[in-house]
Amino acid sequence: MGIGEFARQVKDASIALAAMGADEKNRALEQVARAMIERQGEIIKANQADLIRSKGENLPEPLMKRLKFDETKIADVVDGIYSLVGLEDPVGRTIFATELDDGLELYKTTCPIGVIGVIFESRPDALVQISTLCLKSGNGVLLKGGSEAMETNRILADVIIKATEEAGVPANWLKLLETRAQVGEMLKMDEYIDLIIPRGSNEFVRHIMDNSRIPVMGHADGICHCYVDEDADPDMAVNIVVDSKTQYVAVCNAAETLLVHEKAAAGFLPVLKEALDQKQVAIAGCPRTREIIPAEPATEEDWKTEYLDYKLSIKVVDNVDEAISHINRYGSGHTDSIITASKDRAARFMALVDSGNVFWNCSTRFSDGFRYGLGAEVGISTSKIHARGPVGLEGLVIYKYRLIGNGQTVSEYASRTKTFKHKKLDKQFPL
By CB under 8 A, the residues from 339 to 358 that bind a copy of itself are 343, 346-348, 350-352, 354-358
Q: Report CA 144 to chain centroid distance, whole Å.
A: 17
Task: Report which of 238, 245, 315, 235 is spatially closest to residue 275, judged by C-alpha positions.
Answer: 238
Stretch that binds a copy of itself, among 14-22, 24-32, 148-156, 269-277 (CB under 8 A): 14-22
Judging by beta carbons within 10 Å of its beta carbon (0-12, 13-18, 19+), is residue 238 exposed, middle or buried? buried
For a copy of itself, which residue of 72, 278, 280, 406 counts as binding (CB under 8 A)?
406
Element (H or E) spanning 267, and its range? helix 262-278
Name the minimum Å distance from CB 38 to a copy of itself: 32
Stretch that binds a copy of itself, among 122-130, 159-167, 301-309, 387-395 (CB under 8 A): 387-395
Contacts of 263 (CB under 8 A, 6+ apart): 230
Give yes or no for residue 217 binding a copy of itself (CB under 8 A).
yes
For a copy of itself, which residue of 48, 204, 275, 372 counts as binding (CB under 8 A)?
372
Name the minimum Å distance from CB 183 to a copy of itself: 18
Q: Which residue lies nearer to a copy of itself by CB, 250 or 410?
A: 410
Name the minimum Å distance from CB 197 to a copy of itself: 11
CA distance 395 to 108: 17
Q: Which residue lies nearer to a copy of itself by CB, 48 or 408?
A: 408
Name the minimum Å distance from CB 18 to a copy of itself: 7
CA distance 423 to 295: 64
Q: Which residue lies nearer to a copy of itself by CB, 277 or 354?
A: 354
CA distance 55 to 64: 8
Beta bridge partners of 312: 283
Name the minimum Å distance from CB 242 to a copy of itself: 8
Binding mask 225-264 for a copy of itself (x = CB under 8 A): --------x--x--xx-xx---xx----------------
Name the minimum Å distance from CB 106 to a copy of itself: 6
CA distance 286 to 309: 19
For a copy of itself, which residue of 226, 311, 390, 393 counts as binding (CB under 8 A)?
390
**Residues 319-338 contacting a copy of itself, CB under 8 A:** 324, 328
Residues in the chain: 431
Stretch that binds a copy of itself, among 53-61, 143-151, 300-308, 367-375 (CB under 8 A): 367-375
**Residues 68-107 contacting a copy of itself, CB under 8 A:** 98, 100, 104, 106
Q: Which residue lies nearer to a copy of itself by CB, 181 or 341?
A: 341
Task: Report which of 106, 174, 184 is spatially closest to residue 142, judged by C-alpha positions.
Answer: 174
Q: Which residue lies nearer to a copy of itself by CB, 51 or 317?
A: 317
CA distance 15 to 115: 9
CB 254 within 8 A of CB 245: yes
CA distance 344 to 338: 12
Name the minimum Å distance from CB 414 to a copy of itself: 7
**Residues 194-213 contacting a copy of itself, CB under 8 A:** 194-195, 209-210, 213
Name the minimum Å distance from CB 422 to a copy of itself: 4
For a copy of itself, which residue of 7, 81, 113, 298 counts as binding (CB under 8 A)?
113
CB 208 within 8 A of CB 119: yes
Q: Which residue lies nearer to a copy of itself by CB, 180 or 386?
A: 386
CA distance 122 to 90: 29
**Residues 301-320 contacting a copy of itself, CB under 8 A:** none
Give backbone dihedrals phi and psi of 144, rounded to 5 degrees, phi first.
-135, 120
- Residue burial 368-382, b: 16+ Cβ < 10 Å; e: rest: bbeeeebbbbbbbbb
Contacts of 189 (CB under 8 A, 6+ apart): 3, 4, 7, 117, 214
CB 61 within 8 A of CB 74: no
Q: Which residue lies nearer to a copy of itself by CB, 4 or 34?
A: 4
Stretch that binds a copy of itself, among 40-48, 64-72, 148-156, 412-420 (CB under 8 A): 412-420
CA distance 175 to 172: 7
Give yes or no for residue 171 binding a copy of itself (CB under 8 A).
no
Give yes or no for residue 220 binding a copy of itself (CB under 8 A).
no
Coil/strand/helix, residue 277: helix
